[in-house]
Amino acid sequence: MESLTVEKLLLDIPEFLPIYDQDTEYGYKNKPGKNLEKLLRNTSKNHCMYCYSLLRNDRGDIGDLEHSIEKNLDERHLTDCVPNIAIACPNCNQSLKRVGEKKRIEKLAKAKEEFESDLKCSGNQCKKECEKYKTLKKEYCKVAKLILQPFGVKGEQSGLPYRIQYNVYEEEFIPSREYDYNEEDKGYIEHHISQFKLNDVGYKTKALANFVEDVIEADGKYRENSEYPNYIVDLFKEKIKDMSQEKVLQLCEQIHIKNVLSFRN
C-alpha cells in the first residue's frame, strides 16, 4: 500500500476569494443581494464559510448573507459594503458568530468614530476593501479574534494568512501546519475554531465518518459527484482521487478503526 504521511491526512480549508464582476451590481438585499449570494455560493462551492457545512437540503438551498463586521456597528456604511458580506449557515450566522457581539461593539466605539471620520464611501459600488475598512477590520479582529470571510485575515505581527486544516486521523480542525505560526497566531485561530464549535462534541461534523463508512460498505467505491453535508468530504475525495480502489478501501478502514477507538475512549 502507498505510504501514508501525516500531510496526506491533513485537508487544507481553501481561501474564499470572490471575484466581483465590475459590471454587476451587488448588495445585501433585493436583486443586488441575489447577485452577491450567487457569487458567494459559487466561491465556497455552496458551503458555509465558517463551519464548511453544505448550504443545501432536500428542499433547496439554505444559508444567509452574513456581515463579517456586524452591521450593527455602523448600519449606514456596513450594511451594503460588498467586501464585508459572506455566506454562512443559519447556525453560524444567527447564533455562534453573535456570541460576544454586544461587547465587541462596545469596545469598538473609538474605531467606529475613526472609521466614519472623513469616510468617502461608495456603498455597494465598492468591490474591494478600502483603506478605512481595512483599518476597522484590523481593530475588529483584535477584539473578536475571528477569521472573517470572505478574504480571511492575516496575523498582525507575522503577516501570515490565518488558515485551517482538518486532521482526518484525529477528526479535528487545527491551525494549518503549512505556516510557521507563533503562539499569538495559533491562539487566534484556535479561538476562531472554538467560537464556531468546530471540534465540540455535539457540533462537530460527522460527514467524513459517514463517507468512510459508505466507502467501506461499497468495497472502496464512491461516486465523485456524491454530496455530503460538509466541505471536508470534497477535500478528502480530492486527496484520494488518484488512489486505487484497494488503497482507498484500506485507507478508509484505517480511519474507521481510529474513529471507533476514539469513540470508545
Give pLDDT, residue 263. Answer: 62
**Single-letter amino acid code for the residue at 120:** K
- Summarised one tens digit per residue, pLDDT across range 6-23 is 446 999 999 999 999 999
Which one, of 205, 203, 231, lies nearest residue 14 by Cα?
A: 231
Instruction: Identify the segments of the chain with pLDDT beneath 70.
Output: 1-8, 263-265
Predicted confidence at residue 6, as pLDDT, reads 43
How high is the pLDDT of residue 58? 83
Closest CA to 40 of 73, 87, 79, 1: 87
Specify burial of residue 196 (Cβ count, 10 A radius: 0-12, 13-18, 19+).
buried
Query: Which DSSP symbol is given to 53?
Result: B
Q: Alpha-carbon Rg of the chain, whole angstroms? A: 20
**Helix, strand or coil, per DSSP, at residue 139:** helix
Give residue-wise pLDDT tens across range 82-121. 999 999 999 999 999 999 999 999 999 999 999 999 998 8
CB 85 within 8 A of CB 68: yes
Q: Please give the Cα distance from 251 to 265 (Å, whole number).
A: 21
Residue 258, pLDDT score: 87
Write the DSSP assignment of 90-121 as a string of letters: HHHHHTGGGTTHHHHHHHTHHHHHHHHTT---
Which pTM was predicted? 0.94
